[in-house]
Structure 1
Amino acid sequence: MSVPDTPPGTRRRPAPRRRLATVAALVASLAAALVLPGLGLSVPSPAYADSAGGRDIRTGLPGTALTWGSNHRGQLGDGNTAGAATVPGRVCGNVTCTAPLDKAVQVAAGDGHSIALLEDGTVLGWGNNANGQLGDGTKTDRATPVRVCAVGEPAPCASVLRGVVSVAVGDLHSLALLNDGTVVSWGSNSVGRLGDGSAAPEQPSPVRVCALNAVAPCTSFLTNVTALSAGFQHTLALRSDGTVASWGHNGNGQLGDGTTFPRTTPVQVGGLSNAVSVAAGQFHSVAALADGSAYSWGVGAGLGDGSGAQSTTRVRVCAIGQTAPCTSFLTGVKSVAAGGFHTLAVRTDGTALAWGDNFAGQLGDGSTTTRKAPVQVCAPGGCSGTLTGVTAVAGGTTGIHSVALRSDGSVRTWGFNGSGQLGDGTTTSRLTPVRVCAPGQTAPCAGFLEGVTSIGAGDSHTIAVSRPLADLATSIGASPEPVANGGTLTYTVRVHNYGPTSAEDVVLTDHLPTTVRYAGATPSTGYCDTPPTGTTNTVTCHFGTLARGGAATVTIAVKVRSTGSVTNVVSATGTTPDPRPANNSAAITTPVG
């Protein structure tokens, strides 16, 4: 039996399975305890080139899918359905969980389920499947990933969905953008959120989204789509001409077509012709325009217009600090995302803004005060500065926490943390951003998540793609030069990590020349496996983890037993992928006097 969906028009507060009063009391006590100084929506989808060319625009190299937070429906994909995780863990790459899911390029999260786009253009889903939102043709929950079926395939599916370039997730439905600019959807179809024009309550396998204003059974389908955003019970599609299509629940005007009628096939949002990013919340929608302005429609403080009053057509988002009626308006917006009742924006200067409901601190401004106009998201640790270097934000469609991806590949989170969805090793809610811990850490974390390329926020869990990359460079020097036959020659070897992330398990290997005899080795960190003094063999030094920009050295002393010259070659390796292995080795030739 399907999980009952919230009736249209019901205001679904995103409380993580607690009474709102309980959450409010928790947040109030949190605010009193804190001493304050002085982002299932995924990251906005990438732009699709054109429908004729069918160009592949998947962003980034594939990485490992990581999840943290609630796991009550298996949404963490780790093979379990119990408990919660307060730090990131790897999603299983197979049913037996003997390998991680390491071919993901984009991820998205909903109300108890997760979706991942793989580098081969196929899609996986796991977690809650009571409404068919995993797309595998069934309504069986999955604690490990399963493949999304091809359009119309019944279970067991003979073929899988292919040619996908982007994914989006609502609370109980999922969508995929194909490389021909069309869209498919699956899961709950309450209030027409799948956009296929049918009256079916759910679709456990993908169906095609109809063309604008089409009537079922549809014979033409939506085209030229460049990005998707799925809200609670409605969906937005950005098109290549800058217009926006919408469908699903519309009781509060969240479709932006000037009405409050639900739409089972797409309609066009009025007055938008140069949108570059869209976001759908529970009962509101937002768009960033090419000129850096932002517009919204629907209802609630998430509109950011200083009022929050219901509007079935677009209203302009106010500038920071404005009150209704606003006299100045937001500029410099690059992209937008939405939580249940709050909105997030990335500006061209790399700062983040937020507005809307804030009872759990999901705006990140150090307070629990609802904001009907934008405020700056604070820097980690306090509001004496602002969060910088932001490239993307995410907030769950029914969630009350926010996520930000920074240009250095690290992740910041804030808001409600009752299930560990902030990933900082605790279940303490945060009014300002905290850094997400590395897998395997415990609070207080000494290592932090790096190399992230995609983020998504669900109701009470968070998902990311991490691709750690090292860039080890090795150098070697020798002293004295020249060296006397029978004298001591000292090599100084340095390994530097220029990569964007930490380099794990770094090992330096020196196969000593046959013309020298080992005398001693002293590493700056870690330890060395050394041969007996006076022999010719291999020196192996274990440096452990080298942080981004970090370095380790070792001095190796040998006795020369040669004439002419001595050549020594050293090399460094690590378990973190290194795209430039040619830098890992170094050699030096020392003349013997």
Structure 2
Amino acid sequence: MSRSPIRRSPPILRRLFHAPPPPSVPLLLHKTQTPGPTSTLHLLSWGRGASGQLGGGVEDIRLYPTSVASLLLPLSFRLSPVSGLLSPDDEAAAAVVEEVGISCGLFHSALLVSGRFWIWGKGDGGRLGLGNESYVFEPVLNLNLDRVRSVVLGGIHSAALTIDGEVYTWGYGGFGALGHSVYHRELLPRRVNGAWKGKICQLATSGTHSAAVTDSGELYTWGRDEGDGRLGLDIGRAPDDGLLGTPTKVDALPVHVAAVVCGGFFTMALTSDGQLWSWGGMADDGKVLSWGHGGHGQLGHSSTQNQKVPLVIDALSDKRVAYIACGGSSSAAVTDKGELYMWGNSKDNQLGVPGLPDVQTSPVEVKFLVEDEELGPHHVLSVSIGASHAMCLVLRPGKLVDHSS
């Protein structure tokens, strides 16, 4: 297995000589070099931005989803294999020219395009992977890791999956979420030497725990477990001190795991046959089920009660959901028609619909996205949620430009 090239610079020297940060990106963040027609994608963000996580400079709060950057991609682009999204078959993946993905952490954000990623927000603990702990208020290109397929952001840490199926983590390691068996901070990306065989095909993380799915469908978890079972390990294997610093296989899932997503105190998994196991998932008919802690309405059942067994979210039962996301105490779903629904904690306007109560217990459609005159008609592709902000990628199907000449 080959290692992904890393460009490292000593963090002490960077601080001593005040080395400049990576270059800021313009509004047109990426323009494909592939000849032929292209499609336009927009990156939008909303919610609280005091730590720079919205990517638009110094700002306190953004009420409506607003464009941060645009991308010009070939028609053959696809979403990167992020958590919560079923990966296409090998034949479809092999034909893809460029991949794109987004992720929100506690107070930081990232955008992945064609093996490179931009990152911004709060830098405490080294979570930006730039070799320092500085705040960054606009997207900057991280030059310390390339050949990346997906980036997932946690509370005070971050993780990335490379094209070679290797996992890298960085940031604060006090909860074991970095997977290095040590609990100090990492200012630069460091490879995780997991016990898995083969390659990792999907990666997820949250505030204090992480999960990875292998190409053979095995699930591994590591990080913090405070007795709530978020790691999916039985009592005899759960860490006595609540911390598990190395990836451990979840044997309770004997079926091929296709997708995984981590919430604040829970984990959701989806098997390739559409069956639901342990923490939660999405059936093959596009119905969304959830259970666990529901104190902020994040389960979407029109209640703040906890739910101990899987229950279909009635408000979405007539929709075919293609993408799910959760972060902190909020949740979201994107339908196959490009509609975006959100629910849960709305205190910092992270649901993107002004006027909602602080606790939104049922899904609400972010309708103004479809009616935005500046963006024009468009289709929501993906969504990511942090503790107090959110981002989404939208496609303008009608905006095709032929650059072959």
TM-score normalised by structure 1 residue count = 0.52
2: CA distance, partners of 1:231 / 1:81: 25
**Residue 133 (structure 2) aligned to one of 115, 139, 160:** 139
Identity rate of aligned residues, in percent? Answer: 30
1:207 match: 190
| 2:257 pairs with 1:435 | no
CA 1:80–1:459 in structure 2 vs 1: closer, same or farther (change >3 Å)? same
State whether residues 351 and 390 of structure 2, in contact with CA within 8 Å, keep that contact through their aligned partners in structure 1.
Answer: yes
Q: Is the CA contact 1:242–1:272 (under 8 Å) kept in the aligned structure 2? A: no
* Cα shift readout 1:134-154 (whole Å, capped 9, x = no counterpart): 11111111111122242xxxx
In the other structure, the counterpart of 2:384 is 456
Question: How far apart in 2 are the matches of 1:173 and 1:192?
Answer: 10
- Match status 1:578 vs 2:400: yes
Q: Does structure 2 conserve the Cα–Cα contact (< 8 Å) formed by 1:65 and 1:102?
A: no
1:453/1:465 contact within 8 Å kept: yes
Aligned residues of 1:411 and 1:449 also touching (Cα < 8 A): no
Q: 1:437: Cα distance to partner? A: 4.5
2:274 is aligned to 292
Asked whether 1:180 is paired with 2:164, we answer: yes
**How far apart are 1:448 and its partner, in Å?**
9.2
CA 446–433 in structure 1, closer or farther in 2 if over 3 Å, else same: farther
Q: 236, 255, 259: which one pairs with 2:231?
A: 255
1:87 aligns with 2:64: yes
**How far does residue 392 in structure 1 lie from its aligned partner after superposition?**
0.8
Given that residues 209 and 223 in structure 2 are in contact (C-alpha distance below 8 angstroms), is that contact kept between their aligned partners in structure 1?
A: yes
Q: Do the aligned residues in 2 keep the contact of 1:425 with 1:441 (CA within 8 Å)?
A: no
Q: Which residue identity lines up with residue 578 of structure 1 in the other structure? A: L
| Cα deviation, residue 198, structure 1 | 3.2
Q: CA deviation at 1:105?
A: 1.6
* Deviation (angstroms), 1:173: 1.2
State the shift of 1:117 in Å. 0.7
- Secondary structure of the residue that 1:131 maps to in structure 2? helix
Q: Deviations over 1:313-353 (max 9, x none)?
A: xxxxxxxxxxxxxxxxxxxxxxxxxxxxxx5x322222222
Is 1:269 the counterpart of 2:269? The answer is: no
The offset of 1:76, in angstroms, is: 0.6
Partners of 2:317 and 2:269 in 1: how far apart?
A: 23
Q: How far apart, in 2, do the equivalents of 1:240 and 1:246 lie?
A: 15
Instruction: Give the number of aligned pairs.
Output: 333
Cα drift, residue 111 of structure 1 = 0.9
1:505 aligns with none
Is residue 301 of structure 2 the alignment partner of residue 373 of structure 1? no
Task: Check whether the contact 2:266–2:292 (CA below 8 A) recurs between aligned residues.
Answer: no
How far the C-alpha of 1:132 sits from its partner, in A, is: 1.2
Q: How does 1:378-393 map to 2 (within 5 A)?
A: 378-379=314-315, 386-393=317-324
Distance 1:291 1:437, change over 3 A: closer
Q: Which runs of 5+ in 2 are unaligned?
A: 1-37, 74-98
1:244 is aligned, of 210, 214, 219, to: 219
Aligned: 1:77 with 2:55: yes
Q: Distance in 2 between matches of 1:377 and 1:449?
A: 28
Larger relative contact order (Cα-Cα within 8 Å, sequence gap ≥ 6): 2
Contact 1:89 1:440 (C-alpha < 8 Å) held by counterparts? no
Distance 1:280 1:402 in 2: 11
CA contact (8 A) 2:370 2:377 kept: no
Going from structure 1 to structure 2, the CA distance change for 1:102 and 1:460 (only over 3 Å counts) comes to: farther
Unpaired segments ≥5 residues, structure 1: 1-59, 94-99, 151-160, 214-221, 297-302, 304-342, 380-384, 471-576, 582-593
Tell me the distance in 2 between the aligned counterparts of 1:241 and 1:440. 39
- Per-residue CA deviations over 1:536-590 (Å, capped at 9, x if unaligned) read xxxxxxxxxxxxxxxxxxxxxxxxxxxxxxxxxxxxxxxxx13689xxxxxxxxx
- The match for 1:106 is 101
The equivalences for 1:105-504 within 5 A come to 105-118=100-113, 120-150=114-144, 161-200=145-184, 202-212=185-195, 223-252=198-227, 253-258=229-234, 259-261=237-239, 262-273=243-254, 274-296=256-278, 303=279, 345-379=281-315, 386-396=317-327, 399-428=328-357, 429-438=359-368, 450-470=378-398
One-letter amino acid of the counterpart of residue 356, structure 1: G
Look up the equivalent residue of 1:375 and give its one-letter code.
L
One-letter identity of the residue aligned with 1:68: W
Work out whether residues 39 and 400 of structure 2, in 8 Å CA contact, stay in contact via their aligned partners in 1.
no
Cα RMSD of the aligned pairs, angstroms, is 2.9
Secondary structure of residue in 1 paired with 2:175 = helix
Deviation (angstroms), 1:450: 3.4
Measured at CA, do residues 400 and 450 of structure 1 come closer, stay the same or move farther in structure 2, by a change above 3 Å?
Answer: farther
Report Cα offsets for 1:271-318 as digits up to 9, x if no partner: 43411122223343332223332222xxxxxx4xxxxxxxxxxxxxxx
Q: Is the CA contact (8 Å cut-off) linking 1:197 and 1:210 kept in structure 2?
A: no
Q: 1: CA distance between counterparts of 2:338 and 2:55? A: 22
Query: Cα offset for 1:162?
Result: 1.1
For 1:459 and 1:61, locate their aligned partners in 2 and report how far apart those are by CA, in whole Å.
31
Return the alpha-carbon distance in structure 2 between the equivalents of residues 376 and 440 of structure 1: 26
Could you tell me whether the CA contact under 8 Å between 2:157 and 2:170 is conserved in 1? yes
CA contact (8 A) 2:384 2:390 kept: yes
AA at the equivalent of 1:110: G
Letter in structure 2 aligned against 1:124? W
Q: Which residue in the other structure is 2:4 paired with?
A: none
Q: Distance in 1 between matches of 2:375 and 2:50?
A: 27
Task: Give the superposition deviation at 1:223.
Answer: 4.8
**2:396 alignment partner, SS class:** coil
Q: Which amino acid aligns with 1:420?
A: N
8 Å CA contact 2:203, 2:211 repeated in 1? yes
Aligned partners of 2:370 and 2:261: how far apart in 1? 33
| Kept in 1: contact 2:343–2:360 (CA 8 A) | yes
C-alpha deviation, 1:123, in angstroms: 1.0
Q: Aligned in 2, Cα 1:268/1:390: closer, same or farther, shift over 3 Å?
A: same
The 1:289–1:350 alpha-carbon spacing in structure 2 relative to 1, beyond 3 Å, is closer
Q: Which moved more, 1:273-282 or 1:234-243?
A: 273-282
Tell me if the contact between 1:71 and 1:81 (Cα under 8 Å) persists in the aligned partners. Answer: yes
Pair 1:367–1:289, CA change in 2 (3 A):
same
Q: TM-score, normalised by structure 2?
A: 0.74
Tell me, in whole angstroms, the C-alpha distance in 2 between the residues paired with 1:73 and 1:449: 31
Letter in 2 for 1:255: L
Q: State how far apart, in whole Å, the 2-side matches of 1:251 and 1:227 are.
A: 24
**Aligned-partner SS, 1:181:** coil
Q: Secondary structure at the match of 1:191?
A: coil
